[in-house]
Amino acid sequence: MSAVPERAPVTTRSETRTALDHLLTEIEHRNPAQPEFHQAAHEVLETLAPVLAARPEYAEPGLVERLVEPERQVIFRVPWQDDQGRVHVNRGFRVEFNSALGPYKGGLRFHPSVNLGVIKFLGFEQIFKNALTGLGIGGGKGGSDFDPHGRSDAEVMRFCQSFMTELHRHIGEHTDVPAGDIGVGGREIGYLFGQYRRITNRWEAGVLTGKGAGWGGSLIRPEATGYGNVLFAAAMLRERGEDLEGQTALVSGSGNVAIYTIEKLTALGANPVTCSDSSGYVVDEKGIDLDLLKQIKEVERGRVDAYAERRGSSARFVPGGSVWEVPADLALPSATQNELDENAAATLVRNGVKAVSEGANMPTTPEAVHLLQKAGVAFGPGKAANAGGVAVSALEMAQNHARTSWTAARVEEELTHIMNDIHTTCHETAERYDAPGDYVTGANIAGFERVADAMLAQGVI
């Protein structure tokens, strides 16, 4: 009888940490001038040493090295004409990061700050966020440095048509399914879908999500990211024996995520008192008047100072500054990346904040995250807390596949179930790896394990 070969010794956490540090150095070298991507990679990889030490099979086939390298990166020119006939040239991106769990899924962002590093950071985050939903979708992201603000509908249409003329060859309901993000709402999705249909001669409803409810979209999709973030925050509070009722909340931003975060906070008995945009922020002691905010931001496309002017004596506009200066129980950053820094976190802690839950993608700097966690603040990372948007996008794909539509009540019930499951998964995974209450570690490891298991099963590709 042949002898059974000895099993290789389990790699220690120290050895694993050293290997991950070398990989992070290599990532920075191979991806120069991409600080957002470096930050996202650091945030994930620095939490993986325990799982890689416990499960050395993940290290054998260069799995982590493959995970941090996108499967495909597409960069293209987007020429378009404005209403005066002038030709403009923007740059378009689609980074298809990982498809081990399903077709690439992630939004399109139209904003002057968009570059390859930003798209890669967003796509990398999307891998783990999508894995946490349990809905069989991979991670990707895209967009352009085009700014739709101040442009006419006709100009936005011509840009979207030019953008989709190139993008269409890289996407499909079984390949890559974009959605909206900053600067890409229902108007832009409509123009993009129309051009896709025109070019392909197919009514492929599942190729884009965030569509209008009358032509393949899902109810609750516009609300989903904000609603989901509040549901995750509520779950973190429940874990500590509290609830949202009567809690004062700070919300940054005044776009889609912020508006529906405010709506859900109010519905669950909290009092959201702030909103903001690039001009400054508003504090409303009575709580944000949602109808007025929607009128100004969604209909008039105005600035938040108009809210303070029309709201009355309870509200004041603060030019510049930061919403995090306002004392409150909860903070839900819902604007953009790295908006909540270490100084702001220190202010929140001094003012007695109990929980911070990320509605935007990576809105809290690493230094701020560490400070909040050290102070015992419940911290919900975006890849878990703001997964509600992509979760309902996946539910939209399911409805498209069945050629049906669900009621708003059913979609919201599914969303609530998914967000509670994500919270439970993150919480239990953190405890399993000796990091109780650390939702960052829990989210990163839980998402990683799901993707890694699929990658192992499918071989070195």
Q: Which residues are known catalytic residues?
A: 141
Residue 172 zone, left/alpha/beta (φ > 0; ψ -120 to 50; rest): left
Q: Please indicate if the annotation marks 393 as binding a ligand.
A: yes
Q: Please indicate if the annotation marks 2 as binding a ligand.
A: no
First-last CA distance in the chain: 36
The sign of the torsion formed by the CA atoms of 337, 325, 332, 187 equals negative
Q: Please indicate if the annotation marks 256 as binding a ligand.
A: yes
> Tokens 């529906």 belong to which residue?
260
- CA-to-CA distance for 81 and 69, rounded, in angstroms? 35
Structure tokens given for 270: 């909290």
Residue 208 near residue 177 (C-beta atoms within 8 A): yes
The letter for the amino acid at 103 is: P
Q: Please indicate if the annotation marks 425 as binding a ligand.
A: no
Radius of gyration of the chain (CA): 22
The sign of the torsion formed by the CA atoms of 154, 159, 162, 163 equals negative
The letter for the amino acid at 216 is: G
Closest listed residue to residue 361, CA positions, set 253, 247, 231: 253
List Cα–Cα distances, 153 to 75, 144, 157, 188, in angstroms: 25, 17, 6, 9
Neighbours of 378 (CB within 10 A): 21
Q: Please indicate if the annotation marks 338 as binding a ligand.
A: no
SS3 call for 196: helix
Q: Please indicate if the annotation marks 105 as binding a ligand.
A: yes
Residues tagged in the binding site annotation for substrate: 105, 126, 129, 180, 393
Residues tagged in the binding site annotation: 105, 126, 129, 180, 225, 256, 393
Residues tagged in the binding site annotation for NAD(+): 225, 256
